[in-house]
Structure 1
């Protein structure tokens, strides 16, 4: 098996994390760094993916400033979503060899790791064929949006961006009301705390997802690292 480095970065502004991803993608491409799973929370942020539907953002610039929510147009797939405190964000930076490459399978594997985590809590996570992400009934608990960066030194791709799992109850109300999440108006949002009735910590959930992620992607996961990458 390959070793997967895991890093818990705590709270980080979106722009800083985006720059870090781009830096590490280059290092992994050069084989200067092991493949890595970054786990963190973000300050309140809306990100608009390559689908580019700005009409799904319901707040104007003044309201965004008043609420302290950053806005980024970024290079992942998908539409608009929210990131903020109480949400576990995972950025897998993995090398996908060109031989036998199945990009859709990569997305399904991300979903599967989250579904396996939910099962730990007695929750049945599911997929909706027309959408990417993880659902509990008709409520979305995890959004997924990725980028496949063409490797320069090898044949294949290196992944970036990733998943956002709603852990704390506050996530349901503190940002999603300002957007049409992923352009999907007919379904709601839910958190792990709401479903379990438990008080949970984001870092705890990050640690618990690592073995499922490693299993799905066939890695040996190294112990979770410190926050040194953020500097």
Structure 2
């Protein structure tokens, strides 16, 4: 069981380019697993954790409803946004500058074989990070992701999630609003859930901007604790 995780910060990168890169790493891990099962090769599989910010983009999961995109596709260019139908679970999601997107590409057989537990751990990473900013975040029953003020008229989502898994290998992940432009959420029904607001960490703290590097360090700290992982850094990210 290889618990080493290669951490890469891709910076601001086009969604499709990043998706293709995820698929490349995903396929690399799957190919090793197939070889191990066919030939009893005993090769270790790698694990990755990618950080990225995307230019404005809307993505629709395989079970999503295109009607949850509230702007005509031909109008997207006017707001400098793109749109993709993709192969993760979940409905529609927005990504953009000021949002930390995390893509763990893991062989869960190196950690545990439980997708439900995996999703709960991803949520817990965000919840613990927000607690460090004195923000009480929660899960909302039946709604994957991380929320504030659940069960009140002021419920709002701060982190969306959607994953794909095959042979216990994961891809896609979470989108955590840190310094996000919330106006872009007006062009969609977030995750297909009507009547729920969205928020961003800087808004909750009443600050114009929160350090993205600081938040990334906290996210990695909690990932490391929960997954009992060892990090191999490929970028200048301070891991607390």
TM-score, with structure 2 as normaliser: 0.86
Q: CA deviation at 1:186?
A: 1.6
The aligned counterpart of 1:154 is none
The aligned counterpart of 2:120 is 108
Q: CA deviation at 1:221?
A: 2.2
SS in structure 2 opposite 1:39?
strand
For residues 128-148 of structure 1, the C-alpha deviation after alignment (integer angstroms, 9 at most, x for no partner) is 011000001111000000000
The aligned counterpart of 1:225 is 235
Counterparts of 1:128 and 1:6, CA distance in 2: 29
SS in structure 2 opposite 1:225?
coil
Written as runs of structure 1 = structure 2, the 5 A alignment for 1:67-216 is 67-97=79-109, 101-137=113-149, 138-150=155-167, 157-168=168-179, 170-173=180-183, 175-198=184-207, 199-216=209-226
SS in structure 1 opposite 2:108?
strand
For residues 167-210 of structure 1, the C-alpha deviation after alignment (integer angstroms, 9 at most, x for no partner) is 01x4212x111000001112100100011123213233222210
Q: CA deviation at 1:75?
A: 0.2
Q: Which has the higher contact order (CA 8 A, sep 6+)?
A: 1
SS in structure 1 opposite 2:195?
coil
Decide whether the 8 Å contact of 2:182 with 2:198 is kept in 1. yes
The aligned counterpart of 1:62 is 74
Decide whether the 8 Å contact of 1:49 with 1:80 is kept in 2. yes
Counterparts of 2:110 and 2:217, CA distance in 1: 30
Decide whether the 8 Å contact of 1:39 with 1:89 is kept in 2. yes
SS in structure 2 opposite 1:165?
strand
Runs of 4+ off more than 4 Å: none
Decide whether the 8 Å contact of 1:4 with 1:214 is kept in 2. no
CA RMSD of aligned residues (A): 2.0
Decide whether the 8 Å contact of 1:8 with 1:203 is kept in 2. no
Counterparts of 1:211 and 1:222, CA distance in 2: 13
The aligned counterpart of 1:11 is 12
Task: Pick the structure with greater CA Rg.
Answer: 2
Q: Does the C-alpha gap of structure 1 residues 22 and 100 become closer, same or farther in structure 2, counting only changes over 3 Å?
A: closer
Long gaps (5+) in structure 1: 151-156
Deviates more, 1:93-102 or 1:134-143: 93-102
For residues 28-67 of structure 1, the C-alpha deviation after alignment (integer angstroms, 9 at most, x for no partner) is 3325763010001001000000112000011112211211
Decide whether the 8 Å contact of 1:11 with 1:41 is kept in 2. yes
